[in-house]
Amino acid sequence: MALQIYNTLTRRKEPFVPLEAGKVKMYVCGVTVYDYCHLGHGRTYVVWDTVRRYLLSRGYAVMYVQNFTDVDDKILRRAQQEGATMEAVAEKYIAAYFEDMDRLNVLRADSYPRATQTMPEIAALIDQLTSIGYAYSAAGDVYYSVRRFAEYGKLSGKHLAELEAGASERLQDEELARKQDPFDFALWKGAKPGESAWESPWGAGRPGWHIECSAMVKKSLGETIDIHAGGEDLQFPHHENEIAQSEAVTGKPLARYWMHNAFLNVVNQAGTEEKMSKSLGNFKTLRDLFEDFPPMALRLFLLKTSYRNPIAFSLEALKGSEQNWREMEEVLRLAPWLAQQGQSVAGDILFDPWVRRFNEAMDDDFNTAAALAELIALGKQLAGRYHAAIHGTPLADPVRFAREWCTFAFLCDILGLKAGEPEVRPSALPEAEIEAQIALRRQARAERNWMEADRIRKQLLDQGIVLIDHKDKPTTWRHADL
């Protein structure tokens, strides 16, 4: 079966057919850079990174663009608090974003456009919208006339008639006075004293958030792209407004597939789930979590749930994922051991049944929950056989084991799960000491004192020495990271 993608625009799964065969143009709305990323941001960018990796694995050439929103009220406010410029605040948190996402093994985008570097294109787009009658200027601001765009609401299913009710309460009087209609939204905001501002035909000011993305998509990927993605809160108004802006100008669909991931939630004291967010104060930054968990355990945790289902955050669940990851990582690190067994670790993978089941899961709208379950099961099987082998039960079929191991490593890579540097450094333990411990363990085993034998094995492992038992010859050893 071909890849199926749930398209928010049509509210159903559709076969994935890119505009140009073999190529995928993908745009993901990026972070507003005024603070460190929390695990909720981690979810969003791990999800889209995994989608990208899977498309690559299926042979597509993926052009992946993700912006940084570096002009925004929140950045302005943070700059005022920190006594810094908006640019300095943005640079600081862009650098932090890369540090965090690199640790989560999120591939770098092909480009990272920024609003501040797209000003001429933003102004040109606003100018076009004004000249075709979809936008109007008012006292230094420019607004989009929502009612002019007949298809407004087609993405989110929110139609103006339903929105009417509460709308007026949400608007600030000042802005309302300038708008021809309460639903109109700002494309350009005239500068208030002391704010960073850019020159424009409408006076000094700065762009609205939605027009930034419309301009950046067009500049970096063209008029119609294949996949436009982001967190589910972006459906409305952000993506709805992007559609209204871009499609009014081009007359073409902005994106063929609109994809939205559900939130990472936190259960509050009343027992209900709420989005992890800065404003609710219920967040854990990625960098804090990295202190306690391997980054890959977090990545695995985020992929255990498929992207359209919410995740409830808990430390217990994270610990469970850490356990899964430690097992998988042990198996991923078996390459040197396999080489010692004379097995090739570079190449042959088994296409059946593991890859087939993995691909079936991923083809079903990127069902990482099912794909990962396959992978965890394969990892457990391999770990079991490896442990038996080093305890004296040789591998029944070493060639098959090696091929399954290659399959495992290959599939882990598609999900972006990679083993870190081994924590155990080469042991400084003298060989004579290792041999003495092995002799003590042999004695313990002869006395059927399995606890003591296991304790010695564990103690040596903590010092970087792995023992390998054999059926027909004495126990040998190797350095853990060889």
Residue 277, binding choice from ligand AMP, Zn ion, none, Cβ under 5 to 8 Å by partner class: ligand AMP
Binding flags for ligand AMP, 15-54, as an x/- string (CB under 6 A): --------------x-xx-------xx-xx----------
133 φ/ψ sector (left φ>0, alpha ψ -120 to 50, else beta) = left
Look at residue 40 and give the partner it binds from ligand AMP, Zn ion, none, a contact being a CB closer than 5 to 8 Å depending on partner kind. Answer: ligand AMP
Q: How far is the CB of 234 from ligand AMP (least distance, A)?
A: 5
Stretch that binds ligand AMP, among 148-156, 225-233, 366-374, 410-418 (CB under 6 A): 225-233
The 3-state secondary structure of 286-337, one letter per residue: HHHHHHHCCHHHHHHHHHCCCCCCCEEECHHHHHHHHHHHHHHHHHHCCHHH
Helix (H) and strand (E) counts for the chain? Answer: 17, 15
Classify the phi-psi angles of 86: left when phi > 0, otherwise alpha if psi is within -120 to 50, otherwise beta.
Answer: alpha
Specify the residue, 29 or 39, whose C-beta has the smaller distance to Zn ion: 29
What are the strands, taking DSSP E only, across 183-304?
Answer: 185-190, 205-207, 225-231, 255-261, 264-267, 273-275
3-state class (DSSP) for residue 456: helix
Q: How far is CA 345 from CA 330, 348, 363, 473, in A?
A: 15, 8, 27, 26
Distance from C-alpha of 182 to C-alpha of 15, rounded to nearest angstrom: 38
Give me 226's structure tokens. Answer: 């294949």
Nearest distance, CB of residue 306 and ligand AMP, angstroms: 13
Determine if 311 is a binding residue for Zn ion (CB under 5 A). no
Name the minimum Å distance from CB 286 to ligand AMP: 12
Footprint of ligand AMP on 298-357 (CB under 6 A): none
Part in contact with Zn ion (CB under 5 A); list of ranges 11-19, 112-120, 210-218, 392-400 = 210-218
Question: Which of ligand AMP, Zn ion, none sits in contact with 213, Cβ below 5 to 8 A by type?
Answer: Zn ion
**Strand partners for 391:** 469
Least distance in Å: CB of 230 to Zn ion?
6
Q: How many CB atoms lie within 10 A of CB 280?
A: 11
Site size with ligand AMP, rule: CB under 6 A: 16
Please select the residue that binds ligand AMP; options are 234, 297, 411, 417, rule is CB under 6 A.
Answer: 234
Is residue 29 close enough to count as binding Zn ion by CB under 5 A? yes
Beta carbons of 138 and 203 less than 8 angstroms apart: no
The reply to whether omega before 18 is within 30° of 0 (cis) is no
Query: How many CA atoms does the CB half-sphere of 457 hold within 13 Å?
Result: 19
Query: How far apart are CB 255 and ligand AMP at their closest, in Å?
Result: 15
Specify the residue, 46 or 338, whose C-beta has the smaller distance to ligand AMP: 46
Q: CA dihedral in degrees (298, 304, 310, 313; nearest 10)? A: -40
Site for ligand AMP in 238-277 (CB under 6 A): 263-264, 275-277
Selected from 55, 213, 244, 302, the binder of Zn ion by CB under 5 A is 213
Does 109 interact with ligand AMP (rule: CB under 6 A)?
no
Please report, as ranges, the residues that interact with ligand AMP according to CB under 6 A.
Answer: 29, 31-32, 40-41, 43-44, 230-231, 233-234, 263-264, 275-277
Which residues are near Zn ion by CB under 5 A? 29, 213
